[in-house]
Amino acid sequence: MVFMPKKMANALLLMSGVLAVATATGAEVDQAVLDRGKEVSALCIACHMESGSGSSIEGFEYRPRLTGMNPDYMIHQIQSFRDGTRVNASMKPFADLLTDEQMHDVSHYYASLPAVKADDFEVIVSDDVLAHGKKLIYKGDWDRYIPACVACHGVDAYGIGVSFPNINGQNPAYLKKAINDWKEEIRSNDPLELMSRVAKRLTEKDIEAVAAYLASQPAVKED
């Protein structure tokens, strides 16, 4: 199925309305939720670290930063590991173990922590690679029907609403794996199949560049 620009534009327009509602309906949580969430996080710290910064085992698995993320987005990801629309052998047993309340509590707990980058990776690429990544993130490539990342992920790709997360400051290997999972249909929990359609248009060079640029940025938007 070919996803033509008009259909892409209509999908993005529809999602803008969804995002406006999602952004406006966030609710604060009380300290009891955060306390319970901290207790549940004991299951998470071996991979995602106590700080929530994430970690990696080179050539095997890359665990993302959980801080600086929308809590409802994180709840959706845990549910996706449980229902199979997102696949990871390490996450599946934990997703199956958690109750809905525990998912809620631990997601809000990590969302309450300062967003910090993991210290176990560095970005070593040429300026040309970074420039290519930045172009795709801010301008896209409409000759290939690739919209800018910021069209969905918000200002400077620091996230907006429940469906489009902050994608800055993550390990580039994790970002490449995530994009390729969309591309290869290993992951299918995106709204309106937007990410899978875009990922299938990205070349290996594009993915490398986008991941490198995003990984080089701070985990939270600086003033």
Which domains can be identified in the chain, with CATH numbers?
5-22+122-215 (1.10.760.10), 31-112 (1.10.760.10)
Amino acid identity, residue 129? V
pLDDT (tens digit per residue) in 32-44: 999 999 999 999 9
For residue 29, pLDDT beyond 90: no
pLDDT (tens digit per residue) in 137-186: 999 999 999 999 999 999 999 999 899 999 999 999 999 999 999 999 99
Averaged pLDDT of the chain: 90
- What pLDDT does residue 222 have? 83
For residue 19, pLDDT beyond 80: no
For residue 62, pLDDT beyond 50: yes
- What pLDDT does residue 20 have? 42
- What pLDDT does residue 161 have? 86
> How many CB atoms are closer than 10 A to CB 22?
18
Q: Which residues pair with 57 in a beta bridge?
A: 61
Closest CA to 16 of 145, 183, 191: 191
Closest CA to 105 of 55, 44, 168, 57: 44
Identify the residue whose tokens are 């071996």: 46
Residue 149 is classified by DSSP as: T
Indicate the annotated binding residues.
44, 47-48, 91, 149, 152-153, 195
Indicate the annotated binding residues for heme c.
44, 47-48, 91, 149, 152-153, 195
- What pLDDT does residue 7 have? 53
The rounded distance, in Å, linking the Cα atoms of 52 and 114 is 9
